[in-house]
Structure 1
C-alpha cells in the first residue's frame, strides 16, 4: 500500500525546492523581513523551534507575483 498523502507543511529544504529559490534566500528573508526592492519573504510558521511553510501559503505567495506574457510587450 503506497502513501499518497500530500503534506500540508514543508521544511526549509522542501520549500526551497518547491518555490525554486535557495535556502539562503528563505533564511535571509525570514530574518530581515520584507525590505524595499527585495523579493518579499513567503509566510512561515514556527512549531517549537522548527520553521515550516504551509503549501497553501506558498501557492498564494507565488500567485501574488506579476506574470509576464512577453518581456518585449509594448516596445
Structure 2
C-alpha cells in the first residue's frame, strides 16, 4: 500500500511572504497574468480563498531564475 504525500498549500499571504511579494501583488498577478515579467505561479481556489501549492511556487522560482540568467 502506498501512502500519498500530502501537498502543502499556502494561503495568499503565506505564498506572498515565501516569494518576497505583497499579497496585493499576487492578487494583481492573477488578473494581469504576469508577475516579475513571467507567468504567475499556479493557484487553486478553495471556496472564497486562494491557495498556492509550495511545489508550484518552487517551480515558478526556478522558471524565473532561468529567465533572468538567460
The TM-score normalised by the length of structure 2 is 0.72
Q: Could you say what secondary structure the match of 1:53 adopts?
A: strand
How far the C-alpha of 1:64 sits from its partner, in A, is: 0.7
**Structure holding more helix per residue:** 2
CA deviation profile, 1:49-73 (whole Å, cap 9, x unmatched): 11000001001010112264xxxxx
The structure that has the greater radius of gyration is 1
2:16 aligned with 1:16: yes
Q: Which consecutive unaligned segments of at least 5 residues does structure 1 have?
A: 1-5, 69-75
Corresponding residue of 1:3 = none
Q: Could you say what secondary structure the match of 1:64 adopts?
A: helix
Q: Which consecutive unaligned segments of at least 5 residues does structure 2 have?
A: 1-5
The TM-score normalised by the length of structure 1 is 0.68
**Aligned residues: CA RMSD:** 2.4
Q: Could you say what secondary structure the match of 1:46 adopts?
A: strand
How do residues 1-75 of structure 1 correspond to structure 2 at under 5 angstroms? 8-34=8-34, 38-65=37-64, 66=66, 68=69
Which portions of structure 1, spanning 4 or more consecutive aligned residues, are displaced by more than 3 angstroms? none
